Amino acid sequence: MTLPEFRLLRPSNLSEVFAARRAYPGARLLAGGTDLVANLRHGIGRAPALIDITAVPGLGDIAEELSSLRIGAAVTLERLSNDPLIALHAPALAQAARQIAGPAHRTLATLGGNLCLDTRCIYYNQSAWWRQSNGFCLKYRGERCHVAPEGNRCRAAYSGDTAPALLALGATVELGDGTETGWVDLESMFQEDGAAHLRLGDSQVLLGVRVPIRSGLLAAYEKARLRGAMDFPLAGVAVALRREEDRLADLRIAVTGTNSRPVLLKDCEALVGRSIDEKALQQIDSLVQRQVKPMRTTLTPAHSRRRMAAALAVRLARRLWGR
């Protein structure tokens, strides 16, 4: 459980961050460290250097732009939970941030670290000796997946809470690698592979998130967890909808805790133009149950997590529609 040796670098601007990445191949970015440091202590991964990005100017800012909110990657979860601009334009994001870890973690933990959180599994988030006694596993140092031994990929679950809220709100992310910087849909940052769920290049850094400000859009996030005070989601769901009179004008639903990536549900537009009655709620239930794929990565059975995700989506849709 002791930390391995590494160099700790604390660049004071972005050029120094990219220079440090070039100078130390295999270095890891360090934000709040609440996920990365715990994993290093468990002997999960090694890095010649950690590059602390929290002193880089601009990464800790929240600003209202023309029709969007720009949130720096190093904004802490505590700030997200309490910031007046977030409360006004993206309350679902504040709800998600408030439900992450405990209050002390949230003072350090950042939005960028939460989006780039490693995937989780009962066979992986264990001490090194525990994993070694099991022959490690396919994700790291082993040859076999204990969850799906017949398969050839890791099924560990993505369990970040802010990603579904941001997906439902239609957020984009800014990525930079020292030579070019650009905005892409948040959804495209992830892929369905528990051992490589982030589609970020070795030198890429998540710089910030942009959330469009849409009038009339109502959104909320809820999660199911074993310990109410502090726990990762067994399933977490964000719903965003816009109602015009008795007609649904927009619907987006995103789920975390079930797949190796946060899932933005497809085919929600089939419900647009209708009202959210019991039949529509049943359709939402089956959209979720068909598209999420929890595996045996927690002690709670996979089928219960699928049903939890569907129940949360139905509850949120009913509540937002009734507002």
Ligand X SMILES: Cc1cc2nc3c(=O)[nH]c(=O)nc-3n(C[C@H](O)[C@H](O)[C@H](O)COP(=O)(O)OP(=O)(O)OC[C@H]3O[C@@H](n4cnc5c(N)ncnc54)[C@H](O)[C@@H]3O)c2cc1C
Residues at the contact surface with ligand SF4, assessed by CB under 6 A: 121, 123-124, 137-139, 145-147, 154-156, 194, 297
Binding-site size, ligand X (CB under 6 A) = 32
Residue 161 is a binding residue for ligand X (CB under 6 A): yes
Helices (H), the chain: 14-23, 36-41, 77-82, 84-89, 91-98, 103-108, 111-115, 128-133, 162-168, 278-291, 302-322
Residue 29 is a binding residue for ligand X (CB under 6 A): yes
Q: What is the DSSP letter of 90?
A: -
Long-range pairs, 84-90, Cβ under 8 A, ≥24: 86/62, 89/64, 89/211, 89/213, 90/165, 90/169, 90/211, 90/219
Helices (H), 99-246: 103-108, 111-115, 128-133, 162-168
Which partner in ligand X, ligand SF4, none is near 164 (CB below 5 to 8 A by kind)? none
Question: Taking the complex as a whole, how short is the minimal distance between the CB of residue 115 and ligand SF4, in angstroms?
Answer: 20
Contact with ligand X (CB under 6 A): which of 21, 35, 263, 292?
35
Contact with ligand X (CB under 6 A): which of 30, 86, 209, 239?
30
Q: Which is nearer to ligand X, 110 or 297 (CB)?
A: 110
Q: What is the DSSP letter of 33?
A: -
Amino acid at 188: S
- Residue 36 gets the label, from left (phi > 0), alpha (psi -120 to 50) or beta, of alpha
Question: Taking the complex as a whole, how short is the minimal distance between the CB of residue 29 and ligand X, in angstroms?
Answer: 4
Backbone dihedral angles phi then psi of residue 288, each to the nearest 5 degrees: -65, -50
Residue 31 is a binding residue for ligand X (CB under 6 A): yes
Contact with ligand X (CB under 6 A): which of 70, 105, 146, 274?
105
Which partner in ligand X, ligand SF4, none is near 232 (CB below 5 to 8 A by kind)? ligand X
Which partner in ligand X, ligand SF4, none is near 209 (CB below 5 to 8 A by kind)? none
Comparing C-alpha atoms, which of 199, 197, 114 is closest to residue 157?
197
- For residue 180, give the H/E element and its range: none
Residue 113 is a binding residue for ligand X (CB under 6 A): yes
203-232 binders of ligand X (CB under 6 A): 205-206, 230-232
Residue 170: is it exposed, middle or buried by C-beta count within 10 angstroms (0-12/13-18/19+)? buried
Q: What is the DSSP letter of 249?
A: E
Q: Which is nearer to ligand SF4, 138 or 308 (CB)?
A: 138
Q: What is the DSSP letter of 76?
A: B
Residue 100 is a binding residue for ligand X (CB under 6 A): yes
Question: Taking the complex as a whole, how short is the minimal distance between the CB of residue 137 and ligand SF4, in angstroms?
Answer: 3
Residue 114 is a binding residue for ligand X (CB under 6 A): yes
Residue 287 is a binding residue for ligand X (CB under 6 A): no
Question: Taking the complex as a whole, how short is the minimal distance between the CB of residue 38 and ligand X, in angstroms?
Answer: 5
Distance CA 149, CA 90 (A): 41
Which partner in ligand SF4, ligand X, none is near 83 (CB below 5 to 8 A by kind)? none
Residue 160 is a binding residue for ligand X (CB under 6 A): yes
Q: What is the DSSP letter of 169?
A: T
Site residues (vs ligand X, CB under 6 A): 28-36, 38, 53, 73, 77, 100-101, 105, 108-110, 112-114, 116-117, 159-161, 205-206, 230-232
